[in-house]
Each structure stands twice: as C-alpha cells, then as structure tokens.
C-alpha cells in the first residue's frame, strides 16, 4: 500500500481550495481510495492512479504527491 495526497495549485471549480486538498492510498492491486479534506468531504474508489489523475488532475493544476516510496 502506498499513500499520497493531491496538491491543488489552482482551484478550477472554486470548491476544494488549494494546497493539500485530498488524501489517498494505492493498494497493491492498483486500486486507489481518495478522500477530500474540504468541508464537502467524500470518499471515492478508482481503478488506478491514472484514472484518478484524468478526473481530478485538471490538466496539471492538481498533482499527486507520493508520501511512501514505491515498493
């Protein structure tokens, strides 16, 4: 299991703000869990980190920052 957070440099929709906006983990099978740190929190599952980035990356305005080494 590998932990990460989403670093949002520009809030495209004006909802989650900027900075560390979400926390997540990637399991050994590739699935990812993501939860938002904002007042409007939720938890979502993604089939892969690539899918998560395609949905929430906003063309590079939000990036994944890995906390743990790949292993």
- Per-residue pLDDT reduced to its tens digit, 35-67: 999 888 899 999 999 999 999 887 888 999 999
Cα–Cα distance between 48 and 14 in angstroms, integer? 26
Strands (E), the chain: 2-8, 19-26, 32-36, 43-46, 62-66
**For 6-22, how does the pLDDT look when each residue is reduced to its tens digit (9 = 90+)?**
998 877 777 777 789 99
Residues 8 and 18: beta-carbon distance below 8 Å? yes
Which pLDDT score, from 0 to 100, does residue 58 have? 76
Domain extents for the chain?
A: 2-66
Other Cβ atoms closer than 10 A to 17: 12
């Amino acid at each position: 299991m590998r932990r990460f957070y989403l670093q949002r440099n520009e809030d495209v929709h004006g909802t989650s703000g900027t900075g560390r906006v979400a926390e997540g983990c990637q399991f050994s099978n590739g699935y990812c869990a993501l939860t938002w740190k904002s007042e409007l929190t939720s938890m979502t599952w993604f089939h892969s980190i690539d899918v998560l980035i395609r949905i929430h990356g906003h063309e590079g305005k939000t990036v994944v920052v890995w906390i743990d080494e790949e292993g």
